[in-house]
Structure 1
Amino acid sequence: MQNSNECQLQIRLLTKQNKYAVPDVPLSVPETIDSKSLNDLVNQLLRDSNPDFLKPKDFDFLVTKELLRVPLVEHLQERNISTEVIVEVEYIERTPAPEPEDSLLHDDWVSGVATANKWIITGCYDYSVNVWTTHGKIVTTSKDHKNVVKAVAWIDKTEPSKGFVSVSHDLTGIIWAFEPATGNVTSKAFLRGHERGIDSLGISPNSLRIATGGWDTHLKLWSSSLEGDEEPANKRSRGVYTGITKTPLHTLSGHKENISSVNWVDNYVICTASMDHTIKFWDAELCGIKNEIVGQKAFLSSSWSPLSNCLLATSADRHIRLYDPRSSEGNLCKTTFTSHKLWVSSVTWSDYDEHLFLSGGYDSSVKLWDTRSSRAPLYNLEGHQGQVLGVDWSNKKYLISGGSDNVVHIFKNKHI
C-alpha cells in the first residue's frame, strides 16, 4: 500500500515510440519515485492495456529533456521546476549495454582506428597500417610509412572499395587502394607538403577532399583523386616511394600549435581543434577563418555531428564539452561531461543517434554517453590496460577503441 504521508506528484507519461504508448492521463506517484520505479509502472500499464505484452522492457525517462538519474523531486528541484504542476515524463527504450565482441592484437600502440561496413583499418606506432574484419581476422599489413601512423580514415564509409587515407609523423599522407574481394591494399598516392609530423585527418562528406593538420600548425586541403605527378624514375628504381605525389590544393594558416583534430562540418566548412586552446571553423572555398571558439586548455580531440549540428571537444583536462556554434546567447559550451579520471584523448559521435557518443581516455577507460545525461556515462566499456588513443563508431553495430596496450577492442551494439 502507498504511504498516505508521502507527498504525491502528478505526472503524465508520454512516448514517441507508439508501440509502447500507455493512456495519456495524469497519474499520482510518490514524489520520490525514481527511474526504476517508473520503469515498473510503465511495464505494468503496458501489461494492463495489452495482455500479449509479456516480456518487460527497459526504459529511460526524460524530464525537461534530461535523463532522470535521481528521484523525480530532486530532478525538479535542481531545475527550479514547480512540483505543483503536472510533470511530463517522456520514456524511451533504454540503450542496452554493448557486449565485448573481439580483441585485435597489434605489435605496438594503436593510434588510429576507422570502420566501414565489415572492415576496420588501424594505424600504429610501428609505422604499420592494418586492415581487419570486424570478426577479428587480419587481412593485410603494410609499412609504407617511415614513422608513427597517427590517423586513418575511409574515403567513403559506405563504399570501402574507394580506399582509405593514413597520415604519419613521416610528414606524409598516403591514399590507399583497397579491394574488398581480395583484401589487397596498395599505396597509390603520397600527400607531400607538411613540414612537421601530421596528427589529424578528415574526409569531406562528398569524399572529394582530404584535410590534414599537424605540428607545423597548418591545415592543408588535398584532392582525393588519384591524379598527380608520378615519382621520378630514379626514385622508382631505388625502391623509394613509388606512386603519385600530390601537393596541397590550399594551405590554411591561423593556428599557433599542433592541430590535433580535423572535422568537416559539410563540404565547404572545416572545423579544427588545436593545442593552442582554440577551435576554428574554416571556409574551405574562400580559405579563411569563419569563427572560432577559445578554450582554457589545449584541445586533444573533437567530433562533429551532422545529426545535432554540435561539436564535442576534449581538452588537457578530464572533461568533454559540447559546443553549439549556432547559439546566439550566452556560452557556446552547452554541456560538460565529467567522468574520466585523466585526460580524455579521443571522442566520436555515433553516426546514427544524435544523442550518443563514445569517449576514450588516458585512464584506460572507454565510455558510452547520452548527451541528455551529463552526470555519468550510460556505460563503461572495460578491457584496455593502457591509454586509449582512438575511438570510432562509424559502423553502428560496432564500437571500436585502440590504445597503448597494443589492442583494439570491438564492442557489439545491441541496440539494433
Structure 2
Amino acid sequence: MAASGSHVQVKLFTKQSQYSVPDTPFSVPDNAGPKELCSLINGLLKESATFLSSLIDFDFLINGEFLNVSLKSHIQAKNIPAETVIEIEYLEQHPAPQPEDSLIHNDWISCLEGNLQFILSGCYDNTVHLWTTKGESLTIIPGHSAPVKCVSWINLSEDDPVSEFISGSHDQTLLLWKWHRDTNEVDCVCVCRGHAASVDCVSVEKTGRKICSGSWDSLLKLWSTDADANCDVPESEQRPSKKKKTAAPKIQSRVPLLTLSGHTEGISSVSWLDQTTVCSASWDHTIKLWDMEKAEVKSSIQGSKVFLDLSYSPHNHLIVTGSADRHIRLWDHRTSEGAIVKSSFTSHRGWVSGVSWSPNNSNHFISGSYDMLMKLWDMRSPKAPLYNMTGHEDKILAVDWSIPDLLLSGGADNHLKIFQQKELSG
C-alpha cells in the first residue's frame, strides 16, 4: 500500500475468526478504499502464516454501513474528526449466485414458494405446478377457473407423507389441497369462498392452523385449516384434482372465520408477524398491522405509492416493501416516533413486484422487478445491490427465498428461474 499523502488511523476486526488479524491500529493512506484495504488484510494474513489457497475478497463496514468509497470521502461525508481511530469490520465477500435451472410454464408465473426440496408455482393458465428443486415436474394441478395469483405451503414435513398447501385465484376462491407424496396424488379438500374479487395474496400462520388472504375487493379474510371448521354443504360440482384420481370425495365449501375491512383499494401482500398479528400492503399506498384476536387495525403506515409486495423477517423484525415508484423501502413497524423508513434502496428501473427476506440471514433480501432483474441486497448497503441476476426476457412477477440456498423468480416470460447461492458464516 502506498505510503505517500495523508494518513488515517484504522482498527480492523472481523467476526470470522479464521481471518483475524492483530487488533492494533494501522496507519493507512486516506485515499485507500475497499480494494486497498483488501490487499492489506490479505498481506497481514499471509504474514501470520494463515493458510490461504487464494486471495480472499473482503467487504468493509464502518458503523454498520458498507464502505464503497475511499476513507477520505467517507470521513468527509460523515464529518468524522481527523484524529479519530476508525473501526472497520471486514467480512468475506458474498459469492455471486449461480444460475441453476429454468422451469418452463405455459403462461405467466404469478407466484411461487419453496419448501424443503419442493417448489409450488401458480400460473396464468389456471394451474398450480409442483416441482422438485432439481427441476423435475411432479404434477400440474387444475382446479381454478381463472389465473392462480398466490400459493403457500401449509405444512410439509420429511416425516409425514401427506402435505397441504393453498392456492388463491382470480376466480375469487382459495383451494386447499392435500398432496400424497408416496403416490404423487393431489386432492382438493376444500373451497374457501367469501371474496368478491381476485384473491391476490395469502399467508399461512406458523402453526399451519390459520390462513389470512387478501383480495382486490380490499378485504382481509381469516380462515381455519381444521377439517371441520366453518364448512358449508359439499360442493355440487366436482373440481378435478389430478388426472388419474378416482372416486373423489365431496369437496366442502368453507366460509371465513373473520372479515376485516380498512383498506380502500386492493390488497397486494399479506404476512403473519406472529400468531396474532398480520401485516398487509395495498394499492391504497398504506401498510396496515392487524390484531387478529381483536379484529382491528393496530397501526397504519402511510406510503407515497402503490405497494406491490412486502416481506417480514422474524430475525430482525423489519419489513421490506416493493413499490410502483421503483423503490424498495425498509420499515420498522415498532417505531412510534420519527421516521419509520429505515432505508431506501434504489436500483431497479421498473415496478418492484416482489421482495423476500433470506430465511436465515438478517441482512440479506432479494427483489424482482418489471425491469426483468432479480437483485440480491444487503440492508447495510442501500446504495447498490450485491448482485444482479439476469435471464428473464420479460417482467418478473414474483420472487421467493424460502429455501436458504435457492433464489427463485417467476415472470411473464413463462420461466421460473432458480439461482444457487451460498451463505457465508459470520
Aligned to 1:142: 141
Aligned to 2:295: 287
Looking at structure 1, the residues matched to 351 and 72 of structure 2 have their Cα atoms a distance apart, in angstroms, of 34
Looking at structure 2, the residues matched to 274 and 146 of structure 1 have their Cα atoms a distance apart, in angstroms, of 25
Aligned to 1:167: 168
Looking at structure 1, the residues matched to 236 and 422 of structure 2 have their Cα atoms a distance apart, in angstroms, of 54
Determine if the alignment matches structure 1 residue 393 to structure 2 residue 394: no
Looking at structure 2, the residues matched to 362 and 12 of structure 1 have their Cα atoms a distance apart, in angstroms, of 43
Determine if the alignment matches structure 1 residue 75 to structure 2 residue 74: yes
Contact 1:110-1:407 within 8 A present in 2 as well: yes
Looking at structure 2, the residues matched to 38 and 153 of structure 1 have their Cα atoms a distance apart, in angstroms, of 45
**Offset, 1:123:** 0.1
Residue 235 of structure 1 aligns to a residue in which SS?
Answer: coil
Residue 96 of structure 1 aligns to a residue in which SS?
Answer: coil
Looking at structure 1, the residues matched to 279 and 235 of structure 2 have their Cα atoms a distance apart, in angstroms, of 39
Aligned to 1:212: 213
Determine if the alignment matches structure 1 residue 244 to structure 2 residue 252: yes
**Offset, 1:225:** 2.2
Q: Deviations over 1:207-264 (max 9, x none)?
A: 1110000011110000122325365474359999941221101001111000000011
Determine if the alignment matches structure 1 residue 2 to structure 2 residue 2: yes
Contact 1:202-1:211 within 8 A present in 2 as well: yes
Looking at structure 1, the residues matched to 181 and 134 of structure 2 have their Cα atoms a distance apart, in angstroms, of 15
Looking at structure 1, the residues matched to 191 and 286 of structure 2 have their Cα atoms a distance apart, in angstroms, of 29
Equivalent residues in 2 for 1:5-154, closer than 5 Å? 6-154=5-153
Q: 1:51 to 1:96 in 2, by over 3 A?
A: closer
Looking at structure 2, the residues matched to 11 and 157 of structure 1 have their Cα atoms a distance apart, in angstroms, of 49
Q: Deviations over 1:15-59 (max 9, x none)?
A: 112221111100011111111221121111112112433432222
Looking at structure 2, the residues matched to 331 and 29 of structure 1 have their Cα atoms a distance apart, in angstroms, of 36
Letter in 1 for 2:2: Q
Residue 155 of structure 1 aligns to a residue in which SS?
Answer: strand
Higher mean alpha-carbon deviation, 142-151 vs 45-54, is at 45-54
Aligned to 2:313: 305
Q: 1:329 to 1:53 in 2, by over 3 A?
A: same
Q: Deviations over 1:69-88 (max 9, x none)?
A: 11122122222222321000
**Percentage of pairs with the same residue:** 44
Looking at structure 2, the residues matched to 237 and 363 of structure 1 have their Cα atoms a distance apart, in angstroms, of 37
Looking at structure 1, the residues matched to 419 and 291 of structure 2 have their Cα atoms a distance apart, in angstroms, of 36
Q: Deviations over 1:115-172 (max 9, x none)?
A: 0011001000000100011111100001100001001111136668431111001010
Looking at structure 1, the residues matched to 240 and 155 of structure 2 have their Cα atoms a distance apart, in angstroms, of 33
Contact 2:143-2:239 within 8 A present in 1 as well: no
Segments of structure 2 that go 5 or more residues without pairing to the other structure are 242-247
Aligned to 1:182: 183
**Offset, 1:195:** 1.0
Residue 237 of structure 2 aligns to a residue in which SS?
Answer: helix
**Offset, 1:179:** 2.5
Looking at structure 2, the residues matched to 158 and 70 of structure 1 have their Cα atoms a distance apart, in angstroms, of 47
Contact 1:231-1:241 within 8 A present in 2 as well: no
Looking at structure 2, the residues matched to 387 and 78 of structure 1 have their Cα atoms a distance apart, in angstroms, of 37
Looking at structure 2, the residues matched to 147 and 140 of structure 1 have their Cα atoms a distance apart, in angstroms, of 19
Residue 39 of structure 1 aligns to a residue in which SS?
Answer: helix
Residue 340 of structure 1 aligns to a residue in which SS?
Answer: coil
Looking at structure 2, the residues matched to 378 and 158 of structure 1 have their Cα atoms a distance apart, in angstroms, of 33
Aligned to 1:235: 237
Letter in 1 for 2:384: A
Looking at structure 2, the residues matched to 353 and 51 of structure 1 have their Cα atoms a distance apart, in angstroms, of 27
Looking at structure 1, the residues matched to 330 and 227 of structure 2 have their Cα atoms a distance apart, in angstroms, of 37
Contact 2:112-2:120 within 8 A present in 1 as well: yes
Contact 2:163-2:181 within 8 A present in 1 as well: no
Looking at structure 1, the residues matched to 192 and 402 of structure 2 have their Cα atoms a distance apart, in angstroms, of 24
Contact 1:47-1:54 within 8 A present in 2 as well: no
Looking at structure 2, the residues matched to 157 and 68 of structure 1 have their Cα atoms a distance apart, in angstroms, of 41
Looking at structure 2, the residues matched to 235 and 51 of structure 1 have their Cα atoms a distance apart, in angstroms, of 70
Q: Deviations over 1:327-361 (max 9, x none)?
A: 24311101000000011111111111011000000
Letter in 1 for 2:405: K
Determine if the alignment matches structure 1 residue 329 to structure 2 residue 337: yes
Looking at structure 1, the residues matched to 204 and 235 of structure 2 have their Cα atoms a distance apart, in angstroms, of 31
Letter in 2 for 1:127: N
Residue 155 of structure 2 aligns to a residue in which SS?
Answer: coil
Segments of structure 1 that go 5 or more residues without pairing to the other structure are none
Looking at structure 2, the residues matched to 158 and 25 of structure 1 have their Cα atoms a distance apart, in angstroms, of 50
Looking at structure 2, the residues matched to 232 and 296 of structure 1 have their Cα atoms a distance apart, in angstroms, of 45
Contact 1:100-1:410 within 8 A present in 2 as well: yes
Contact 1:99-1:414 within 8 A present in 2 as well: no
